[in-house]
Chains A and B, each alone.
Chain A
């Protein structure tokens, strides 16, 4: 952690503890004295929001697990029992189910912010890769959680997704049998998904620890992409970042509560209120909304093995961004071309999400292929080439200079001439 702790234990007990386990000074240097760039905007609050959501999911999940029965004959009814007969069970379940969605809302914004401001670049590569691992863990955990209510979509999503592994040559079908614990999705599958759905969040907690450790090693990026150079460029984490994060967690919670209390089933597929029936395939099987872009990539490619490879590659490619991007300038604010291509990239991902929710016929497949092509071209063609050809805007000398140039709020006295960091 950069920066010495100025923590001074006051009480006799804290002095005693400090000599044996300096946990108080660690907390102090990490969450109080930790210097954070003064020009961070609200897009930087999503790290805190994600930590908050992880806590919400774990707490509600543990209580839900006390009432849930992981058995094909009882799972659906036990979830309905939670909704009807457990005190505030409906609240716990709606917080948890919508919490998954809002977890993904926050993580997508967090990733998009990293891409926009070049937070993946040297020296933050490991921090970024840990983030990609966290995202992968979230995808797996979310998918397994969706299977647990054992409704029609749970069952058929489990069938479709586990079947993807059958595309692997030679050992594919053995792997699928091994995943299922049988020759079809059944009770053993539900049991292991439940077990893993309980385990993986704690793995996420561990990797979040590494993610924050790596963050505190290299410091936060900021909207200019210029590293802090003096004390004028930074503020202490507490109270500045803490209160800002807390405020935006509140804003986030208002929208989250809107969904929990007023439209709790809006993001759900209605078919998941029909108990799982292996003998009846739904008219069209769709995953949860947050997987739709990847689902569109998968379905757009006619060859199954290629489709699965593209699906996996579409997430794994993110880990290679630090090396695919050849530009030395971090922030898209100073990279006019990158900025444009990045916004098209975001539009392409949203477009893929829409296409993933529609039936894969005719024009939809073609559109999905075009957008998939752009998705990969962005990483493998645009990112490497832009660094070589793009003419970037001049960077400010320091964070405080950029703040004084553009960040002066209305009513504030104009900075005296010649003030520089």
Chain B
């Protein structure tokens, strides 16, 4: 039997050595984990933060990035940025939306309505590439769920227990604050910027945020770090607007399941009591043929 123990040990060791090799080959820095109001079982979006984040999106990101799965009415959804319907309508009215065809068969532009989707900054992919030196900014509707990073073993196991689902906003925040000068000897491709958190370190997007760029009216510091935090929270809401409903229902379901399963456990105990304690009791049952 000793032999098998040794074999198992050798296999385990091989696994550990392989893991160590992979860790050494990592290139981009792992994004630091931030504190978010929407993490954990009772997490909620911070309404003021989403409103600030929307401002950053509108004034900075929206110049290049679309948000095509969201409509203006979503801005007034409860649990989200929670603008009033009138505010959402007036935000919509600042956009020009294509509509038509009209009675003359022509497409035309009109101010946005609350039921419209956010219009994209470019008519199509080719227009975006032509304007931005060949680069295509991704749509931001699902961005906060479409970005992540490798936590690696064993951290990804712990993440299941600590309910860590904020890898997307952590990554976006890290990218927005990760612009530094390229280290000596790093060959930056033309049109690229150095970013210590971006895989491969050469990112196409120029540094989008600088201190004081967006005006805040609520006294929140106007720093790159704060902007990055706010817009990441906004994008998380944009990607997962039902997060609050999900966690609220989740708590109710959990309570129900735990109580119900507890009752089933005691029912099971009661039902099995006679079987386990009085094995000699004959119960009326169908005659059965046994292969002896």
Q: Which A residues have a C-beta under 8 Å from some C-beta of B?
A: 2-6, 29, 33, 35, 38, 77, 80, 83-84, 90-91, 94, 227-236, 239-240, 243-244, 246-247, 250-251, 253-254, 257-258, 260-266, 270-271, 273-275, 283, 336-337, 340-341, 343-344, 347-348, 351, 354-355, 358-359, 362-364, 367, 370-371, 374, 400, 403-404, 407-409, 412-413, 415, 419
Mark B58-96 against chain A: 1 for CB-CB distance below 8 A, else 0.
000000000001000010000000000000000000000
**Which residues from B are CB-within-8-Å of A367?**
14-15, 18
Interface contact B163-A262, CB-CB below 8 Å: yes
Chain A: CB-nearest residue to B15: A351
Interface contact B286-A4, CB-CB below 8 Å: yes
Of the listed stretches B49-57, B225-233, B247-255, name the one at the interface; the rest are far from the partner chain.
B247-255
A361 to B12, CA, bound (A): 19
A189 CB to closest chain B CB (Å) equals 23
Chain B: CB-nearest residue to A374: B11
Interface contact A409-B41, CB-CB below 8 Å: no
Interface contact B11-A412, CB-CB below 8 Å: no
**Which residues from A are CB-within-8-Å of B18?**
355, 358, 363-364, 367
Interface contact A4-B279, CB-CB below 8 Å: no
B37 within 8 Å of A (CB atoms): no
B34 within 8 Å of A (CB atoms): no
Interface contact B271-A243, CB-CB below 8 Å: yes
* A344 interface neighbour in B8, B14, B167, B265, Cβ under 8 Å: B8
* A246 interface neighbour in B142, B241, B264, Cβ under 8 Å: B264
A44 to B179, CA, bound (A): 55
Given A3-B286, A235-B275, A265-B145, 12 additional A-B pairs, CB 8 A: A2-B288, A6-B286, A33-B286, A90-B245, A91-B246, A91-B249, A240-B275, A244-B268, A247-B264, A257-B253, A363-B17, A370-B14
B274 CB to closest chain A CB (Å) equals 10
A33 to B287, CA, bound (A): 10
Mark B5-29 against chain A: 1 for CB-CB distance below 8 A, else 0.
0011001101101100110000000
Chain B: CB-nearest residue to A233: B290
Chain B: CB-nearest residue to A370: B14
A344/B7 contact (C-beta < 8 A), A247-B261, A354-B153, A400-B279 known: yes
A344 to B5, CA, bound (A): 9
Interface contact A261-B289, CB-CB below 8 Å: no
Interface pairs (9), CB distance under 8 Å:
A234-B288, A236-B283, A244-B272, A263-B159, A265-B165, A266-B160, A363-B17, A364-B18, A367-B14
Interface contact A347-B8, CB-CB below 8 Å: yes
Interface secondary structure of B, over-half rule: helix
B95 CB to closest chain A CB (Å) equals 20
Chain A: CB-nearest residue to B242: A90
Interface contact A33-B249, CB-CB below 8 Å: no
A283 to B148, CA, bound (A): 13
B15 CB to closest chain A CB (Å) equals 6
Interface contact B272-A261, CB-CB below 8 Å: no
**Which residues from B are CB-within-8-Å of A371?**
11
Interface contact A273-B282, CB-CB below 8 Å: no
A408 to B265, CA, bound (A): 19
**Which residues from B are CB-within-8-Å of A90?**
242, 245-246
A114 to B290, CA, bound (A): 22
B237 CB to closest chain A CB (Å) equals 12
**Which residues from A are CB-within-8-Å of B184?**
none
**Which residues from B are CB-within-8-Å of A358?**
18, 22
Interface contact B145-A270, CB-CB below 8 Å: yes
Interface contact A274-B138, CB-CB below 8 Å: yes
B109 within 8 Å of A (CB atoms): no
Interface contact A263-B163, CB-CB below 8 Å: yes
Interface contact A250-B4, CB-CB below 8 Å: no
**Which residues from A are CB-within-8-Å of B146?**
270-271, 273-274
Interface contact B285-A35, CB-CB below 8 Å: yes
Chain A: CB-nearest residue to B148: A270
A300 CB to closest chain B CB (Å) equals 13
A264 CB to closest chain B CB (Å) equals 7
